[in-house]
Structures are given as structure tokens and as C-alpha cells.
Amino acid sequence: MSGRLTVIGLGPGDARWLTPEAHAALAAAEALYGYSAYLDRAPVRPGQSRHPSDNREEQARAAAALAHAANGAHVALVSGGDPGIFAMAAAVCAAIEAGPPAWRELDLAIVPGVTAMLAVAARAGAPLGHDFCALSLSDNLKPWELIERRLEAAAGAGFVIAIYNPVSRARPWQLGAAFDCVGRLLPGSTPVIFGRAIGRDGEQVEVTTLSVAKSIAADMATLVIVGSAETRIVARRGQTPLVYTPREAARAHA
């Protein structure tokens, strides 16, 4: 079978954060699939067809891209950030597992990208300098009770927590509930970073603490990093504060 599917991470927004491998893979494809807002970020190449879709149609989009590749085409499927983090690579693997046997024979490549938590962390200093975890706050694909259990376990074990998908129109209260949840285990002085639209128009970075985090607005383009008890804020005259988590940890967590 000569078809090929390449799943490409576009990075968080800025074209400078598109890797040379991703750039070459985009140029080599005959057809591009993706959520329309991400497809708009891919450079236009004459002769290349584009197949935009709604952001809630991940499984259908994965199946359509696989079916197109199975017809012998060289197809690319784009994702924001890294395609393996809360994104299309897992949807493609699930579609291959459930789909026709021919899809397992396709030439499949996953091209990594800069994920949002790295872009936010880099703007703030080094909040992910010690052990950390990443968690999606969306309860579309898992129950809220599981999210709370994971937040408690992560905060209780001393992990810095990168929170993807903190808020949407359909999920207005979850971020506040998440702050309440980790606030039962962490001091109110724990640093919290809000990074919005990093590398895009309207980029914002706000450094605050857990005791006031609930009053800060977030949206679908925001990633939140909740520090651990070790994470520090270093004030700088005339500059934004630095947030970092020291590489050593002195004590065991409850």
C-alpha cells in the first residue's frame, strides 16, 4: 500500500516554533486535514487540497484522513502544539485499532511539536524544573470525580501541574473547583501561572498565587501551571517576576 499519513504538530502558534521537520512534512503532503483554526496556520501550497473540520469531530477527522491515505494519497493531519498531547495522534491510533485491517499497513509518521506547557513555562522562567505532570481539565472524555482524584494525588505528591483545557463555554466552573481541590493540599502562597495565546496575537502571561487564582480570567486559549510547595517567585525591578521550581526537593510529601 503506497498511502501515507503524517500527523504533524504545529506548535502553540508562532511560526518560529514550527520545527523544520514539521515544515517539510507539511510541504510534502498532497492533502491536509485538521481543525480549521489549525489548518489556517499551515502555509498554503498550490495543488494541495485542504479538508477543514470542526474541533469536536476528532474521530471522524482521523477516519477521513486514514481513508484518504488508504486510497494511495500522501495525507497530513495537523494538530496544535504536539499531536500526542490531548490531540490527534491518539485519535488516529484509536481509529487504526477499530478500523479496517488495511489501515494498519499504512505508512504512519507522527511529527512532534512544541506543546503549550513548554511555551508557557519558557515565558515564566522554569516552573517545570522539577517533577511535574500534565492534566486536561475537560470532563468531556472522563468523569469529573477522576479529575479531582488526579489533582489531589498530583498536588499531594508534590508535582507541579500543567492544566490544559481549563475552561470552555460549556465548562465554566471546573477551573475554580480545581483550585479549591489543590488548595486543600497546597499553601495559598503557591505560585500559579496563567499563559494565554502564547506565541499568538494577544499573548498574556500572569503570575499570581493560589489564594487569588480564582479571580483571574481564563479561556480556551489559556494554559494554567500550578506550582508545588517548592516553586518560587523571584521579583525583578521593572521586569516580570521569574517563576521556577528548584531542581532539588528536600522532603517527602504526604
Ligand X SMILES: C[S@@+](CC[C@H](N)C(=O)[O-])C[C@H]1O[C@@H](n2cnc3c(N)ncnc32)[C@H](O)[C@@H]1O
The residue ranges that bind ligand X (CB under 6 A) are 12-13, 79-82, 85-87, 115-116, 119-120, 164-166, 195-200, 220-223
8 Å CB contact between 7 and 26: no
Q: Which is nearer to ligand X, 46 or 172 (CB)?
A: 172
Minimum CB separation from ligand X for residue 248, in Å? 28
Cα angle at 230 between 225 and 236, to 5 degrees?
75
For ligand X, the closer of residues 70 and 123 by Cβ is 123
Residue pointed to by grid coordinates 500550578: 226
Using CB positions, name the residue nearest to ligand X: 81
Nearer to ligand X, 3 or 191 (CB): 191
Q: CB-wise, 148 or 203, nearer to ligand X?
A: 203
Q: Which of 67, 117, 71, 56 is closest to 92 using CA atoms?
A: 67
The minimum distance between CB 46 and ligand X, in angstroms, equals 28
d(CA 26, CA 13): 15
Minimum CB separation from ligand X for residue 72, in Å?
29
Residues with Cβ < 8 Å from 152, sequence gap 6 or more?
Answer: 181, 182, 184, 185
Taking the complex as a whole, the smallest distance from the CB of residue 224 to ligand X amounts, in Å, to: 8
